[in-house]
């Protein structure tokens, strides 16, 4: 039995796939070996097949391609402004905060308060 590697990066598994594919190993065998080493964290067999196909078509990089998308509106200044409002009134609600920050959705405010600032309801 192999020692199981926990929390592998996606590019790490893709590197293994690329290496084993270069040795002309079949995708089924590559997936089996990934499962042996990475356990439940391993890629699904369909993803292994997809990456093997991409590498056979000439892809060389194992890293994610840059994607376009909406940039995050959370920045340090916004987090500090939210924290300042919270410190003014410790008995805040997300609704009361949303009145002070109408440009930010309630879910994003909740994320800032709980994830970024670490506040929680007592």
* Per-residue pLDDT reduced to its tens digit, 61-101: 999 888 877 777 788 898 999 999 988 988 888 998 999 98
Residues 18-35 pLDDT 10s: 999 999 999 999 999 999
Three-state SS string over the chain comes to CCCCCCCCCHHHHHHHHHHHHHCCCCHHHHHHHHHHHHHHHCCCHHHHHHHHHHHHCCCCCCCCCCCCCCCCCCCHHHHHHHHHHHHHCCCCCHHHHHHHCCCCCHHHHHHHHHHHCCCCCC
CA distance 40 to 61: 24
pLDDT at 1: 61
pLDDT at 122: 53
pLDDT at 31: 95
């Amino acid at each position: 039995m192999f020692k199981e590697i926990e929390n592998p990066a996606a590019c790490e598994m893709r590197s293994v796939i690329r290496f084993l594919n270069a040795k002309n190993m079949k995708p089924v065998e590559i997936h089996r070996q990934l499962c042996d080493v990475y356990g439940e964290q391993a890629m699904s067999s369909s993803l292994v097949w997809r990456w093997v196909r991409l590498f056979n078509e000439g892809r060389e990089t194992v890293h994610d391609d840059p994607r376009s998308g909406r940039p995050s509106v959370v920045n340090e200044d916004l987090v500090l402004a939210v924290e300042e409002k919270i410190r003014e009134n410790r008995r805040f609600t997300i609704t009361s905060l949303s009145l002070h920050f109408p440009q930010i959705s309630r879910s994003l405010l909740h994320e800032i308060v709980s994830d970024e600032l670490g506040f929680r309801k007592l």
